[in-house]
Amino acid sequence: MEFDSEGRVLLDDLDHAIIHAYWLDPKAGNAAVARSVGTSEATVRRRVQALVDTDVLQFSVVLGRPTSSGYLEFLMGVCADGHRVEPIADEIAELPRVRYLGTALGSFDIILAASVHEMDEWKELRGRIAAIDGVRRTETFLMTDVRKRALDRLTPDELIGVRNDTNGRPASAEPEIALA
């Protein structure tokens, strides 16, 4: 794997093709992906491992409704002291139950999503977040029924950032991301 001067992973056309193939069929094996992108299974295996090692590609299992999966899923809004928003967000992002986190404009400075097995875990997580220096208030929104999971909202190219041309140079300095 190559990196640009800012430490971002530089991907070539084959990397993008492999990512796209898994995006279309996450259950596909390396042999099927190799056939679809026109390379060997060993090359796909090596490239996938490098993409996983650099956190460009992640494989995960998506569970069904929280009541059937045994997980309680919730969103939490966090109000923070203005000068502490970024350090607080970084600290919360390190917590293992937090699956998604972003800073925001509006009523909350930080919004996160997390999953726990039971309410005691939620209480512990809420307590850890509330104890962080600069957290003023939290509000939790428990999901009673998940009706839609839009994990494919962005294309693989939008998720990974810089795309390289065939010579290994960035094809565009700033990827364009169109949100629907």
Q: Are 175 and 162 in contact (CB under 8 A)?
A: yes
35 and 7 within one domain: yes
State whether residue 154 is helix, strand or coil: coil
Residue 104 within any structural domain of the chain: yes
Q: Which amino acid is at 30?
A: N
Segments forming the whole domain that contains residue 129: 66-143
**pLDDT tens across 51-103, in order?**
888 877 777 655 444 444 567 888 999 999 999 999 999 999 999 889 889 99
**pLDDT tens across 124-136, in order?**
999 999 999 999 9
**pLDDT tens across 102-151, in order?**
999 999 999 999 888 888 888 999 999 999 999 999 999 888 776 766 55
Residue 136: closest CA among 96, 107, 97, 174: 107
Q: What is the value of pTM for the model shown?
A: 0.49
Q: What is the CATH number of the domain that holds 52?
A: 1.10.10.10
108 and 85 within one domain: yes
Tokens of 12: 């070539």
Q: Given 60, 81, 105, which residue is the final one in a domain?
A: 60
Exposed, middle or buried, 8 (CB in 10 Å: 0-12/13-18/19+)? Answer: middle
78 and 34 within one domain: no
